[in-house]
Amino acid sequence: MSCLRLIFASVALFVLASVPGAFSAELFDSTPIAQQVNAVSGINFSTSLEGGVVDGKSNHMFIGSFTIPLGSSFGTQVDLGVGSYDSDYSSAAAGLHIFWRDPGIGMFGIYGDYTYINPEHNGRVGFEGSLYHERFTVDVLIAARFGQHVYTTWFDEIDLAYYFTDNFRASIGHRGTSRGNVANISFEALNPNSSGWSVYGDAEIGEDDYSAAHFGVRYAFGSGADSSLIQRDRSSSVQIRIPRGLADISQCGAIASPKPKTWWRSRLWALCASKDELAAEGATIEKF
Q: Which of 157, 102, 100 is nearest to 133 (CA)?
A: 102
For the entire predicted model, the pTM comes to: 0.84
Residue 247 in domain: no
Specify the number of domains making up the chain: 2
Please check whether residues 123 and 162 belong to one and the same domain.
yes
pLDDT at site 287: 56
Residue 246 in domain: no
Please check whether residues 256 and 236 belong to one and the same domain.
no
- Please give the Cα distance from 52 to 60 (Å, whole number): 6
Phi/psi at 194 (5° precision): -105, 5
DSSP sequence for 77-139: EEEEEEEEETTTEEEEEEEEEEEEEETTTEEEEEEEEEEEETTEEEEEEEEEEEEEETTEEEE
Please check whether residues 125 and 263 belong to one and the same domain.
no
DSSP state of 236: I
Which residues form the domain of 264? 252-285
pLDDT at site 268: 84
CB crowding 214-231: b at 16 or more within 10 Å, else e: bebebebebbbbebbbbb
Q: Which of 239, 230, 234, 103 is nearest to 159 (CA)?
A: 239
Q: What is the pLDDT along the chain (288 residues), one digit of tens a residue?
A: 344 344 334 433 333 334 443 333 333 344 444 455 689 999 999 999 999 999 999 999 999 999 999 999 999 999 999 999 998 889 999 999 999 999 999 999 999 999 999 889 999 999 999 999 999 999 999 999 998 899 999 999 999 999 999 999 999 999 999 999 999 999 999 998 888 999 999 999 999 999 999 999 999 999 888 899 999 999 999 999 999 999 999 999 998 888 888 776 778 889 999 999 999 988 888 754
DSSP sequence for 16-70: HHHHHHHTTS-S---S-GGG--SSS-S-EEEEEEEEEEETTEEEEEEEEEEEEEE
- Please give the Cα distance from 235 to 245 (Å, whole number): 25
Please check whether residues 149 and 264 belong to one and the same domain.
no
